[in-house]
Amino acid sequence: METASSGRGSSDDLDTTSSSSEARLLGGIAWEKAATSPQQSSSPSLIRRHCITILNICLFVTSCIFFTLSFSRSGGSNNWLLQQTSFYSPIYTRYDIDFQQKTVVGPLFNEDSLSPEEALLRAYPSPETEALWDEYEEIGTLIISSDDVRRLGKDPSTTVKAPVDFGYGPDAHLAMLDGQHAIHCLNTLRRYAYREYFYPNLTASTTPGKSPFSPLAEAHLSHCLHILLQTLTCKPSFDLITMNWVETQINPYPDFAINKKCIDYKQMKNWQTKNKLSKEQWLEVGDRGPQKGAKVFPMAPKLAAWVAATDVDTGKQKAEQVGHHG
């Protein structure tokens, strides 16, 4: 019985042992599956992640290349910064623009604190004063391409081109700097302010609401006022003016001597002088008139009426020309 019992016990033990071994074996297989399955199932995800990472790196490198090319074409960091707040202008790619830190000079009475040039600009009109203002006002005629004209939002088939024999090639359109036109308008207003010097024979009007100037002069005046307003409101200055208490003044008095970061104006003027048409070339363009096939626009109705009236009234006097010569 003991043997039989022992045998049965051994058989049960064997079954138990086999079951335990099988369980351990199955457990090991299950553990291996548990250990290997996530890795195997995550392989596509890892590949996708690697692909996305590589793609991002490629996009970053490409962006850096395009930024570098754009930056280099703009002529430098100052040019690039100016382009971000400006409409298109090919000038930003033609020379490296310098900035200057300047302090505004704006005393009300202390003219003795001005430099000789500043004093002359503020002085009562004289031949010396006019020579300096004429230098500031100079509007040079520059050359741009058909692509430049299109990027300015204009149609190159309607803009004036330089004659080919000027040496600029067949794709040379005429243009001028808007900032210089604004200075021309400022000088125009200055002349009207000193009209007793510039228009000594002008008789003051005694009719309320009627200007003593001719219709053309009055139109030029209102044109320049409007141009300057649009120029100043297009890019208003965010520089700040502090205030001080000043003897005899009830209210805080503004300190106009503010610090500003400015484009180097004289550098720009020197560049314009080197790249503009000569005065002889400009006059030659006018003498030759429109080239064959050039678009000729009709004159504004009121200006046409003034020209016609002037011709009728004088019979001899040539109609006053309106325009800018540089």
pLDDT tens for 102-158 read 999 988 887 788 999 999 999 999 999 999 999 999 999 999 999 999 999 999 999
Q: CB of 238 within 8 A of CB of 230?
A: no
Tell whether 55 and 187 lie within a shared domain. no
On whether residue 248 sits in a domain, the answer given is: no
On whether residue 286 sits in a domain, the answer given is: yes
Name residues whose C-beta falls within 8 Å of residue 194's C-beta, 6 or more positions apart in sequence. Answer: 124, 125
On whether residue 118 sits in a domain, the answer given is: yes
Q: Which position has the higher pLDDT, 315 or 132? A: 132
Residues in the chain, overall count: 326
Confidence of residue 1 (pLDDT cuts 50, 70, 90): very low
What's the rounded mean pLDDT across residues 287-308? 90
Q: Percentage of the chain with pLDDT > 70?
A: 77
- pTM for this structure? 0.73
Q: Reply yes or no on whether the pLDDT at 36 is more than 60.
A: no
Closest residue by Cα to residue 223 from 186, 176, 197: 186
What's the rounded mean pLDDT across residues 75-97? 91
Tell whether 153 and 292 lie within a shared domain. yes
Predicted local confidence at residue 275, as pLDDT: 98
How many angstroms separate the CA atoms of 325 and 96, rounded? 27
Predicted local confidence at residue 324, as pLDDT: 56
Closest residue by Cα to residue 93 from 167, 164, 145: 145
Q: Which position has the higher pLDDT, 54 or 319? A: 54
What's the rounded mean pLDDT across residues 161-167? 97
**Containing domain of residue 200, as a range?**
108-236+268-308
Tell whether 152 and 298 lie within a shared domain. yes
Please give the tally of structural domains in the chain: 2
On whether residue 213 sits in a domain, the answer given is: yes
**What does pLDDT average to over the chain?**
83
DSSP letter assigned to residue 237: -
Q: Which helix (H) or strand (E) holds 254?
A: strand 253-254
What's the rounded mean pLDDT across residues 282-298? 95
Predicted local confidence at residue 104, as pLDDT: 94
Predicted local confidence at residue 155, as pLDDT: 98
Predicted local confidence at residue 252, as pLDDT: 98
Tell whether 114 and 181 lie within a shared domain. yes
How many angstroms separate the CA atoms of 275 and 283, rounded? 17
Tell whether 163 and 211 lie within a shared domain. yes
Tell whether 57 and 166 lie within a shared domain. no
Q: CB of 262 within 8 A of CB of 268?
A: no
What's the rounded mean pLDDT across residues 66-82? 67
On whether residue 81 sits in a domain, the answer given is: no
Q: Which position has the higher pLDDT, 44 or 200? A: 200
Q: CB of 268 within 8 A of CB of 97?
A: yes
Predicted local confidence at residue 3, as pLDDT: 42
Predicted local confidence at residue 319, as pLDDT: 44
Predicted local confidence at residue 325, as pLDDT: 52
**Would you call 185 exposed, middle or buried from its count of C-beta atoms within 10 A (0-12, 13-18, 19+)?**
buried
Confidence of residue 61 (pLDDT cuts 50, 70, 90): confident
Angle, to 10 degrees, between the axis of helix 178-193 and the axis of helix 127-137?
A: 150
- Give me the residues paired with residue 175 across strands: 142
Predicted local confidence at residue 5, as pLDDT: 44
Tell whether 203 and 59 lie within a shared domain. no
Tell whether 140 and 214 lie within a shared domain. yes
Predicted local confidence at residue 140, as pLDDT: 98
Tell whether 57 and 120 lie within a shared domain. no
What's the rounded mean pLDDT across residues 215-230? 94
On whether residue 97 sits in a domain, the answer given is: no
Name residues whose C-beta falls within 8 Å of residue 183's C-beta, 6 or more positions apart in sequence. Answer: 136, 137
Q: Which position has the higher pLDDT, 62 or 142? A: 142
Q: Reply yes or no on whether the pLDDT at 6 is more than 50.
A: no
Of 1-10, 64-73, 162-171, 281-290, minimum mean pLDDT range: 1-10
How many angstroms separate the CA atoms of 254 and 236, rounded? 18
How many angstroms separate the CA atoms of 80 and 129, rounded? 36
Predicted local confidence at residue 8, as pLDDT: 44
Q: Reply yes or no on whether the pLDDT at 316 is more than 80.
A: no
